[in-house]
Amino acid sequence: MPIRIVIALLIFSLLSSAAVQASLKLPETVKVDPAALTAEPMCDPKISPAWREAQEIDGVKIAASPGCSPDNPAWIAAAVKGTNHVSMDTLMKTGLSPDAIIKTDDLDGDGDPDRIIIKLEIMELNGKSPDFPGLVPTFDIAPGVQPGAWVFAPKTSGMSTENFESVRANPLLRLPSPVIRVEVGDIVQIVLENTHYFPHSIHLHGVDHPFSHGDHAGQDGVPQTSEVELMPGGRRVYEFQARQPGTMFYHCHVQTHTHLAMGLAGMIVVEENRPNNWLQTLNIGAGHVRHSSVAVRENFDQEYDLHYHAMDKELSDIIQKYNDPRLIARDMNQRYDITDSTEDYYTLNGLSYPYTLRESLIIVEPDQKIKLRLLNSGGESIAVHTHGHHATITHYDGVEHNPVAQIMRDVFDMAPAQRLDLKLETVNDGKHSYGEGDWLIHDHREKGITTNGMAEGGSMSSIVYKSYLHDSGLPKVNHFGIDLNKFFTKEYYERRLPVWQDLDEWSSLGSPGGQTGLSAQEQTSLLNGVIGLLIGLVIYLIFAKREQIKQSAIAAVSRLKGAKGSNQK
Amino acid sequence: MIKTTTITFLLAGILAVSSNAIAQQKTNGGAHDHSDHSGHGVNQAPAAAEKQQTEDHSGHDHSSNDQSALDHSAHDHSDTHDISAEQHIDHSAHDTSAQSAEHGDGHHHHHMDHDHIMDHEGTMIMGQNLDKLPSSCKSISEEVEITVRAGRKYSAKFPGTAFAFDQQQWHVKPCSKVTWHFVNEDNIRHQFMMHGLPKYLYKYGMFHLEVTGPKTVTGTIIVPGSDDTFLVHCDISHHMEKGMKAQLVVGKGAENIPSIPGVTPYNINDTYEAENLPKVSDKAEQSAMVRQITSFTNNNFQNYGMMLIGALIGLLCIPLLKKIPLRTKKAD
């Protein structure tokens, strides 16, 4: 009997070691089925393709904008004429409050209004709700990426969401804060109506404004020098009459180290004074300027506002962690330490790649002159690289650089709050341009092309020649076998989609499946266990059958002795 | 003596608060609305309405005071009354714009269609219903006028909020015709937005008043004939989340709406922890002559403790120590 057991155990151990041999083959590659992904259309289907065409609304000429998400033409008409002059029909298509942009009084008699009132509200995006676990109102900077943010928004009318059923933000409530355009000599009132639950202010960085105004007191927006914080529910007027043109910057100066990064920062452009200069007072969402000023049209074929921004996840998470304003204030003001912070989201005109493809492409044709206005409102310097082009820096911080000393570069470094005006010439001479194509424009600090560390993301966009633009408004890339669909899924930015799985047919760099058998370590420990068991059994058997063993040993010995004896005999 | 008086004060306070709370829920019942109604009566001409409204507000305050909502008396509404009186907007006053001087532009928008009225400042009335009876009603049961005030200051009584209405719920009878006077006392936009009304009468089931303050807007609805509870809120980003939320209870009402300040709890609550904030008592201890002594003891408390433990150990060790020299002596 015992011998049989021992034999059985030996066979078992042999078999198990054979199994160890079999599982040495590595796991199979598991390919993510595209059907399992939350695929978004590459172009936002809510935006009408008719918006791309050149058109005229209420007498306002609006240039064509062939990208897939152009600005609502009604916004442009209302911004040019003022919400007080545009037709009611157009105004109803904007969602703007009828007093959002009020233009009156041609003071210098040159055919354009010179008293401009711009009303701004402050809106929260992607904040916490006490009613349900989601965020409200939502604004995606990339598929499924919803950092908490605050923005200056043009004064709107009605709901903050698209409609009662949706939690998606009203299209007027978005990153970045809108680009403001005024003319030299205009008497401008920026009226801040603080609809937010925290105190705020506006500082007009670079814009010629009086430190203090007789009717409106302090004007510099700084709670330590010129004015107290504007509390929730309050209104404050910032009035100025700029004497110098240039690309400038406006932002909240209350707890600036957090409020600026939260999104309370925008570009403000003071345009040169010209007759009949009806400006597009707001460029909502920045990007392509479809109704440029007279001065810009004199020298350029096109104009783009490019607002680079960066946000810290640790900071933007605070408004998603708490609903109580006191707790948000505590965490932002006393606990968040910007000296230990790192930026996680890099945006161009409020969005990260691939959404930058929808609305921040610089769409060009050969032999054009394009004016690019760049603002860096992030906390670190950036280095914007234009593939295939060298552009000329014409203005630093709104001031024209000596024309004979102007230089051409292909990397444009911008300190925080810095503005650069660039002249991009699409002349195929090997210097200004290397020819037609879909040329990347991106921050060359490599983290600038990531979204929370996940590439491809960040503030990357393209300078696209029309011959490389698809009818949909996106760059033509499929003729190179490129498929951008994977970027239009939230799973990609959740880091759940292997980046290279579709590069070849057998997904050589796809995701390995889980271990089917046991791992090498588990196998050895199991084997050791089996051996231990065997040794134990043997010892037990020896112990239990010690009498038998003794006797059989004696018997064997005696047999041997007997044998010897017999031999001796 | 001092202790007993404080205790009695505390007890009185607790009683007052609890009776307040109970009474406040009752306040919102019919009696209060009736007083509003009777105070308003028959006015259609805007000028009359202005005066009436001012009187109505005071009447409103008193009636609620009588019934316990003490917090109302603390607010002085007179300043906003003046403005709301001048700029009062209702359906009848709408067509003749009396505010043309304000921007000096002479261009005025007055958007009007069946259920959407908007003036040049964005004052808006949507989903108004003056005469269409809900199918569940044979006739209008009563006509009620309710004044709703909106502003940051009303959030003061609800810690952890930023905006609020002056009341968090209103009670009306089924089939009643309710005229809402929405008084925005802030310098920004606020909304009085009601959801869940019958869609055959109200587009999207909504009734909506919107106005940039300080100003008043007025609109009328006829509520359905069955018991129900309707959400009222301001839809400006995070105004509802931060306190501007209420409910209209028709008849006995239906299920309560969550996260209405002082009425219903939040569905999702924040977690709170006590913070180490500086206290006056910390400072008082460190003052004058006491300071030297106490700071010494405070700073050396640990040392003293250790010293005490050391002394105890020493005492316990005495018998052992005694034995050691004895043994050595013996050894000698």
Q: Is the pLDDT of residue A225 over 50?
A: yes
Residue B129 pLDDT: 95
What are B280's two structure tokens? Answer: 């006056």
Chain A: nearest CA to B307, how far in angstroms? 38
Percent of chain B clearing pLDDT 70 (strictly above): 56
Chain A: nearest CA to B162, how far in angstroms? 6
Q: Are B111 and B126 in contact (CB under 8 A)?
A: no
CA angle, B163 then B165 then B167, to 5°: 140
Chain A: nearest CA to B256, how far in angstroms? 13
Query: What is the chain B residue with the closest CA to A163?
Result: B204
Instruction: Give B-chain residues touching A327 at CB under 8 angstroms.
Output: 160, 270, 272
Instruction: Give B-chain residues touching A102 at CB under 8 angstroms.
Output: 103, 105
Q: Assess if residue B310 is contained within a domain.
A: no
Chain A: nearest CA to B262, how far in angstroms? 14
At A20, is the pLDDT very low, low, confident or very high (cuts 50, 70, 90)?
low
Q: Assess if residue B268 is contained within a domain.
A: no
Q: Are B225 and B137 in contact (CB under 8 A)?
A: yes
**Range from A117-131, A456-470, B187-201, B282-296 carrying the lowest mean pLDDT:** B282-296
Residue A516 pLDDT: 66
Buried b (16+ CB within 10 A) or exposed e, A449-464: bbbbebebbbbbbbbb
* Better-scored residue on pLDDT, A520 or A68: A68
Nearest to B61 by CA among B184, B168, B147, B154: B147
Instruction: Give A-chain residues touching B99 at CB under 8 angstroms.
Output: none
Buried b (16+ CB within 10 A) or exposed e, A299-333: ebbbbbbbbbbbbbbbbbbbbbebbbbebbbebbe
Query: CA A240, CA A237: separation in Å to the nearest integer?
Result: 10
Chain A: nearest CA to B319, how far in angstroms? 54
Q: Assess if residue B51 is contained within a domain.
A: yes
Query: CA A428, CA A507: separation in Å to the nearest integer?
Result: 40
A136: CB partners within 8 A, 6+ apart: A126, A127, A129, A161, A167, B237, B238, B241
Q: CATH number for the domain including B34?
A: 2.60.40.420
* Better-scored residue on pLDDT, B66 or A563: A563
Q: Do the chains contact at B242 and A325, CB–CB below 8 Å?
A: yes
The pairing of strands A461-465 and A438-443 is antiparallel
Q: Are A397 and A435 in contact (CB under 8 A)?
A: no
DSSP-assigned states of every residue in A456-506: S-TT-EEEEEGGGB-TTSSBP-GGGT---GGGGBHHHHTT-S-TTTTSSTT
* Cβ neighbourhood burial of A440 (10 Å; 0-12, 13-18, 19+): middle
Residue B320 pLDDT: 74
Q: Is the pLDDT of residue B50 over 60?
A: no
Residue B195 belongs to domain spanning: 2-97+105-250
Q: Assess if residue B321 is contained within a domain.
A: no
Instruction: Give A-chain residues touching B242 at CB under 8 angstroms.
Output: 197, 323, 325
Query: CA A392, CA A303: separation in Å to the nearest integer?
Result: 14
Q: Assess if residue B317 is contained within a domain.
A: no
Query: CA A249, CA A498: separation in Å to the nearest integer?
Result: 40
At B53, is the pLDDT very low, low, confident or very high (cuts 50, 70, 90)?
very low
Q: Are B134 and B175 in contact (CB under 8 A)?
A: yes
Q: Do the chains contact at A84 and B109, CB–CB below 8 Å?
A: yes
Across the interface, of B109, B122, B210, the residue whose CB is closest to A88 is: B109
Residue A11 pLDDT: 62
Residue A531 pLDDT: 85
Instruction: Give B-chain residues touching A159 at CB under 8 angstroms.
Output: 193, 235
Q: Assess if residue B309 is contained within a domain.
A: no
Count of domains in chain B? 1
pLDDT per position as a tens digit, B81-122:
333 333 443 433 333 333 333 333 444 556 666 678 899 999
Q: Assess if residue B299 is contained within a domain.
A: no
A555: CB partners within 8 A, 6+ apart: none
Residue B184 pLDDT: 98
pLDDT per position as a tens digit, A184-207:
999 999 999 999 999 999 999 999
Strand partners, A304: A288, A372
Q: Are A383 and A411 in contact (CB under 8 A)?
A: yes
Q: Assess if residue B209 is contained within a domain.
A: yes
Across the interface, of B105, B193, B268, the residue whose CB is closest to A84 is: B105
Query: What is the chain A residue with the closest CA to B244?
Result: A197
Query: What is the chain B residue with the closest CA to A193?
Result: B188
